[in-house]
Amino acid sequence: MDVLKLVETTVTGLGYELVDLEISGRGLLRVFLDKFDGITVEDCELVSHQLTRLFAVEGVDYARLEVSSPGLDRPIKKEKDFIRFRGRKAQLKLRLPLDGRRNFTGILGDLVNGVLQLEVDGKPISIELSNLDKAHLVPVF
């Protein structure tokens, strides 16, 4: 059974976006949700109850379920995330170095054919998404 697909279908059907799903070896399932106007405690509670019932019906084995917002430093994983957060500041970690560096902080630009434009210290850098290890937004206070 594909737990990711099951969770994503359910969360999307409830009107939320699945940002991430973490499955630990100890039976912990962490579900990170988002929606355009933000996530409330009530949203997390609703999704938690729905997933708990669904997991019982589908026989998903888990010890604990946590449902939450991705936070201010939201991970950026999908192409649509890079498009949505264009113009925002983000931190990126690459798999392989680019110009001798693996870590970059800059302003997200256009994404064309799997290549992201990132403005770092006023200079554009092209980064292939296939070389991206991790990316997340830099919180704005």
List pLDDT tens digits, range 63-109: 999 999 999 999 999 999 999 999 999 999 999 999 999 999 999 99
Whether residue 1 is predicted with pLDDT greater than 70 in this model: the reply is: no
Residues 127 and 80: beta-carbon distance below 8 Å: no
Specify the pLDDT at position 36.
Answer: 86
Residues 31 and 85 in one domain: no
Residues 58 and 90 in one domain: no
pTM of the model: 0.82
Specify the pLDDT at position 35.
Answer: 92
Mean pLDDT of the chain: 94
Residues 84 and 108 in one domain: yes
Residues 89 and 131 in one domain: yes
Specify the pLDDT at position 37.
Answer: 87
Residues 111 and 83: beta-carbon distance below 8 Å: yes
Residues 54 and 67: beta-carbon distance below 8 Å: no
Give a yes or no: residue 54 inside a domain: yes
11 is in which domain, residue-wise?
3-68
Helix %, strand %, coil % of the chain (to 5):
25, 45, 30
**116-119 long-range contacts, Cβ below 8 Å, gap at least 24?**
116/82, 118/90, 118/92
Residues 45 and 97 in one domain: no
Mean pLDDT of 7-18: 95
Specify the pLDDT at position 116.
Answer: 96
Report the C-alpha dihedral over residues 82, 84, 89, 90, rounded to 10 degrees.
Answer: -30
Token pair listed for 140: 């704005």
Q: Tell me the per-residue pLDDT of 23-76, one tens digit each, with 9 for 90 and over.
A: 988 899 999 999 988 899 999 999 999 999 999 999 999 999 999 999 999 999
* Domain count across the chain: 2
Residues 132 and 93 in one domain: yes
Residues 88 and 62 in one domain: no
Give a yes or no: residue 21 inside a domain: yes
Whether residue 140 is predicted with pLDDT greater than 90 in this model: the reply is: no
CATH assignment at residue 24? 3.30.300.70
Residues 133 and 95: beta-carbon distance below 8 Å: yes
**Using CA atoms, how far apart are residues 141 and 129, in angstroms rounded to an integer?**
28
Residues 17 and 9: beta-carbon distance below 8 Å: no
Give a yes or no: residue 73 inside a domain: no
